[in-house]
Chains A and B, each alone.
Chain A
C-alpha cells in the first residue's frame, strides 16, 4: 500500500515550457487535491476533484489545468511555465466524510528559470 505517490520528485523548467505532474493513490479515495506551498504562504489549493471525470478550481487555479480520467490518478498541467510557478507541489487524497483527513504525497519541487 503505497498511499499517495507523485512523479517527478524534482524538475527544472525554462519559462514557457510545459509539463505534467502525476499523482496516484491506491486507497480508493473519492477526493483528490493539488496544492502549492510557498515560503510564508502556507498550502494553497490549486484544483480539486470529487470523482472520476470531475474537476473544480481552488484558490489559485490560474496557469494550471487538471484532469482525472481514472479514479486513482490526478494530473496537474502547466501549459506555459512562469517563474512565479516555482514552488513545491503537493497532491492529496481523502475519503468523503467531513471528518476525514487528507493524505499527502511526498511533493514535487519545481524550479522555473
Chain B
C-alpha cells in the first residue's frame, strides 16, 4: 500500500523561508514529485527527486532521503503569490502508466 503524510496547513511571513515536509511509505519507489496548486486551479509541476540529496531551482529546493522515506520542499524569499497548496506525490512501482500517489497537500498562507 501507499501512505503519504504532510502537514495540513502552514503559515509563514513574506520574505521568510518555509520548509514543507513529506514522509512516505510505499511498496516500491521510483521518484517523488512536488506540485503547486493555487485555489481553484490545476496542480503545476515544481520538482522531481529520484536520488538522495538536494535539487535547487531558483527560490525552490527539494530534498530526498530514500532510506528515511522523507522529502521536504524549501521555499525561500517568500512572496504573497506563494500562498497555495503544495502536493507531495510518489511514483510507486513502474507498472501501468507510472502512476502517482498523492498526499493530501499542505496549504501554505503567506502573510505580510
Contacts and interface: CB of A to CB of B under 8 A. Distances in A.
Interface string A32-48: 11000000111111001
A104 B44 contact: yes
Nearest to B47: A101
A101 B45 contact: yes
A101 B99 CA distance: 10
A96 B98 contact: yes
B104 A50 contact: no
Given A43-B87, A106-B42, A94 B98 contact: yes
A48 B91 contact: no
A103 B42 CA distance: 9
A33 B97 contact: yes
Nearest to A102: B100
A55 to B, nearest CB: 10
A40 B91 contact: no
A33 B31 CA distance: 18
Size bin of chain B's contact surface: 20 to 34
Interface of B: 4, 30-31, 33, 40-45, 48, 50, 87, 89, 91, 94, 96-100, 102-105
Contacts, number: 61
Given A4-B42, A50-B96, A96-B98, 6 more contacts: A97-B98, A98-B94, A99-B31, A99-B48, A100-B98, A104-B43
Contact of B42 (A40, A48, A90, A101): A90
Contacts of A43: 43, 87, 89, 102
B102 A42 contact: yes
